[in-house]
Chains A and B, each alone.
With several copies, the nearest count.
Chain A
Amino acid sequence: MNRIFNNPDFVVEDAVRGYLKAHPDILAATENARVLRRPLAPQKDKVGIVTGGGSGHEPAFLGYVGDGMVDAVAVGEIFSSPSAKAFHDAFVAADGGRGVACLYGNYAGDNMNVKLAVKQAAKHDLTVKTVVANDDVPSAPKDEIKKRRGVAGEILMWKVGGARADEGADLDEVIASAQKAIDATRSIGIGLSPCTIPAVGKPNFSIEDGHMEVGIGHHGEPGVAVMPIKPANEIADLMLDHILPDLPFEKDDDVALLVSGLGATPIMELYILYDRLAEVLQARGMNTRHLFIGNYFTSLEMQGVTLTMMRLDSELDRLLSAPARSLGLTRI
């Protein structure tokens, strides 16, 4: 394992300290070392947006704290939910008096910790409502859609929720828009190599050389199939075959597209993939109105890629277009 860290048990602490030193204009500390906030948060009379999750997915989650995005974030260990207290303290850091929308991903740990944190907040009359992202198509069949994991679709959900809150919407309206966003979003990941948590010191799973895992999760959760690597164009087709029929996405749909590397995939390969995705979507009569290509939601140094698509209505389109400024996503 050839990696850069000091004490493997404190990589998160060390990295958070670096983030705070590097970006004082975007990230501010709170009393809880595992909670960061926008310098402007809590913003009076705006619904607070909170998220949180395990580390190792940078720029997710803390990189989406910013204007028009997330107000406060709870930071977990590598690939592990933040504590209930961290979520709770993030709620407090984000609350401007109109309640807090906690928009997070569907993982057992996050579910439990958020549940405890929301209970705790209620004791202090802080209203928190939640939307749990479940955009990862291969993680469960459609009739068990509530079991699906949340992946890079969360970013679009935060963008929508953050923009809606900026418009002055109340908590229920923000929650409704964020829920609509994730309900209209589908993702799939392809894994090409595993990753190593520094404290573990060895890869968290294995993929045979020359093979790819279709439907892999952000922590290496197994996918639906392992097969010899196909050419980029066929990988693109395969990914679309999984997500297009699931929503379904159809002719004349306006869509947002997010292609994210999992960490170690060369950026040029994302563009090789996009070249085909664009071709197919155009041939199918879909209209890509928002496009994000890069390392938006990673898994340490895993190789692979995720594709996320959202079907837009005029509201989602408007909210995705609204200005935002965070480390991971900026709209001017």
Chain B
Amino acid sequence: MTASIAIKDAGGLVVELIEAINANRGWLSEIDGAIGDGDHGINMSKGFTAAGAKLGDPLPSLPDALNTLSETLIEDLGGSMGPLYGYLFSSMADELEGQERLDAEVFAKMMHAAFEGVKEIGSADVGDKTLLDALYPATEAFDEAWRSGKDFAESLDTMSAAAEKGRDATVDMVAKVGRASRLGERSRGVLDAGATSCCLILQTLAKGIKQRMQG
């Protein structure tokens, strides 16, 4: 197992993201329905599917695929997800610029950039019951695992677990931004939809990277 993957062959990661989102379309909307307006899965699926149609064959490099996804979300999707995930993926792509291989160092930077990008455009804080609450603990967990000597694959596993824990922790949070925030205390007790899709995305990335490292 190598500890990195070739960026130019990894555009398929974005295809896997699209598949994961489409497979969970109904579930994501259902979660959003509890305290939001019930369209999160639809929004995500529409945006990701549209991006998929633009990826082309053969697949572009990972940064190009991520930028296509980002641009499609920002330009065509709208909603909150367009800007938020649009910035998330373009921020990730920016960190791949000039790189040939995606290793743990680069991935750590991608995660930090993603977190900063979403935070900037959305002006939400960690703890506000948003996708940041999956993204932030995942970012921190990856950093710490890697720094503490785990290898890339192990660090990805640690990150996946942290994203899931972060996602689940949103159950106990009160929403401070977005539609759900108007619910106040009534927003407690259920998952946040954005944190759920974010966790799904991070886990799909992690799984895809690991598979490519084995291959």
Contacts and interface: CB of A to CB of B under 8 A. Distances in A.
Contact of B76 (A83, A107, A149): A83
Interface in A97-139: 107-109, 112-113, 115-116, 139
Given A81-B82, A112-B83, A199 B42 contact: yes
Q: Is chain A's interface secondary structure helix, strand, loop, or mixed overall?
A: loop
A80 B39 contact: yes
Contact of A81 (B33, B78, B177): B78
B37 A82 contact: no
B178 A108 contact: yes
Nearest to A112: B83
A159 interface: no
Contact of B83 (A54, A107, A113, A220): A113
A197 B83 contact: no
A204 B83 contact: no
Interface string B4-40: 0000000000000000000000000100010001110
Interface residues of A, number: 34
B33 to A, nearest CB: 6
A77 interface: yes
A86 interface: yes
Interface residues of B, number: 27
B37 A219 contact: yes
Interface in A184-230: 197, 199-200, 202, 204-205, 217, 219-222
Contacts of B82: 81, 83-84, 109, 112-113
Contacts of B186: 222
Contact of B78 (A9, A80, A115): A80
A116 B37 CA distance: 24
A199 B38 CA distance: 10
A222 B179 CA distance: 9
A302 to B, nearest CB: 12
B54 interface: no
Interface of A: 9, 54, 76-86, 107-109, 112-113, 115-116, 139-140, 149, 197, 199-200, 202, 204-205, 217, 219-222
